[in-house]
Amino acid sequence: MTGTAPLSPDRQRQRQEQELRQEQRQEQRLEQEQRSDTEGVDGGVGLTALLVAAARAIETHRPDSLARDDYAEHFVRAAPVCAEWPVRIEQVPDGDGDPLWGRFARYFGLRTRVLDDFLLRCVRGDARQVVLLGAGLDTRAFRLDWPSDLTVFEIDRAGVLEFKQRVLTGLSAAPPVKRVPVPVDLRADWVTALTTAGFDPAVPSVWLAEGLLFYLPGPAETHLVDMVDRLTVGGSALAFEAKLEKDLTAYRDSAIYTATRERIGIDLLGLFDLGPRPDSAGELAAKGWSTSMHTPFDFTRRHGRGPLPEPNDALEGNRWVFAHKLGI
């Protein structure tokens, strides 16, 4: 009868170290897989895309919904960082009285509806290309009733677009039009990336910068708007969101900023660029665009639901700008 000889202390130590290294490599692989899934949306500005997705999910399930996004809830549930966030107003104890998931979420729902309407009006005219700048988890390519000959370009960082595509693939989602993700940071050479992806500057286009510009330094915003002007012909259009407050920090204690910071860990004022803002609407007008500027509250009154002004209001300086390039 034979038996296994006991391992020497040195050999036992080597085996233990080998097993520990294997466990560490396994943990690293799992962490890497999770990062590849959620890279770009689990922190910083990327996390705000999940905030907007949660707001759109809540709006979708309202009986008086202003906009529907049936994909939004799936993004929220796919990212561990926000897996416990509400996706229905019934899951919010204070309902519409909640500054974050009530009033702020309704703001995003209203913004979604208004910009949906803008894009659809434009493509009923000359525009046959849509460019979503800082697209985030926008699913307009999938959920809107587009003309069949339209192309939608989605510009954002690779990690954000990869996370979005993974979720959409899991849902077997298929856009009714040509959709072209363009993985590039807007601080890099996004113009070359966009034209290389097939964008044609000679064809009328409509551009959207939703919840984007106030994260950029003023000169970067000016450059972006200038590039949009250079890449467009008559019949094109642009919509963007601006903030007109001279001192955003004066609203640090507002109900919206406080709730967002303390309850879900998003310090919006820490993410916004607090430097001087350019007059992009004025610059476009000087380049021959027609522009109009509205408060969100204008559309609240038009639709009969949405946020209204309140004291110490983080939304007070928000403006939605709509610009159309004249000429042929």
Per residue in 126-166, pLDDT (tens digit) is 999 999 999 999 999 999 999 999 999 999 999 999 999 99
- pLDDT per residue as tens digits for the range 30-85: 344 344 334 578 888 889 999 999 999 999 999 999 999 999 999 999 999 998 99
322 beta partners = 239, 292
Task: Give the whole-angstrom CA distance, residue 122 versus residue 247.
Answer: 34
Say if residues 34 and 80 touch (Cβ distance below 8 Å). Answer: yes
What mean pLDDT is reported for the chain? Answer: 91
- Amino acid letter for position 148: S
Distance spanning both ends of the chain, measured CA to CA: 96
pLDDT at 45: 87
Instruction: Identify the pLDDT of residue 19.
Output: 59
**What is the 3-state composition of the chain as percent helix, strand, coil, each rounded to the nearest 5?**
50, 15, 40
309: tokens are 């002004």
Largest CA distance in the chain: 97
Dist. CA 159–CA 46, nearest whole Å: 9
Under 8 Å between Cβ of 307 and 110: yes
pTM beyond 0.85, yes or no: yes
Quick one: which H or E segment has residue 206? Answer: strand 205-209
